[in-house]
């Protein structure tokens, strides 16, 4: 059974503010900077294949060109720097909320679990 806090109810890309705003099943709203999403992109190109931790990719990405749902569990972002292999599962996305760093701890890779 899906946990409400990892159930995205609404996702809006706000390029004018360089953030992605997500409303979650538990009522929480996350506002996540695009550069943070790009930096913690979970794809193999960015993170490599060893799952020993997540590295932050330095970037100056401020916009997302396209966002598409992947089934009912994830979203695929095409970043303005032309990087387009990042698929963020809901739990990965939620844990990137800068307002909840203390709740979730450091970002994890999607590859785990």
- Under the rule (CB under 5 A), what is the footprint of Zn ion? 41, 43, 45-46, 86
Q: Which residues contact 91 (CB under 8 A, 6 or more apart)?
A: 6
Nearer to Zn ion, 3 or 65 (CB): 65
Shortest CB 76 distance to Zn ion, Å = 11
Shortest CB 68 distance to Zn ion, Å = 15
Nearer to Zn ion, 45 or 69 (CB): 45
DSSP for 29-48, please give it.
EEEEEHHHHHHT--SHHHH-
Token pair listed for 37: 């999403």
Q: Which residues contact 70 (CB under 8 A, 6 or more apart)?
A: 76, 87
Shortest CB 26 distance to Zn ion, Å = 28
């Amino acid at each position: 059974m899906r946990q409400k806090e990892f159930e995205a109810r609404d996702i809006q890309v706000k390029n004018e503010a360089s953030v992605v705003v997500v409303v979650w099943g538990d009522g929480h709203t996350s506002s996540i900077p695009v550069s943070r999403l790009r930096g913690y992109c979970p794809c193999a190109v960015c993170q490599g294949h060893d799952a020993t931790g997540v590295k932050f990719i330095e970037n100056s990405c401020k916009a997302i060109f396209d966002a598409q749902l992947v089934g009912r569990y994830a979203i695929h972002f095409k970043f303005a720097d032309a990087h387009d292999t990042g698929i963020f599962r809901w739990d990965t996305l939620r844990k990137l909320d800068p307002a909840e760093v203390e709740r979730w701890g450091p970002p994890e890779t999607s590859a785990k679990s």
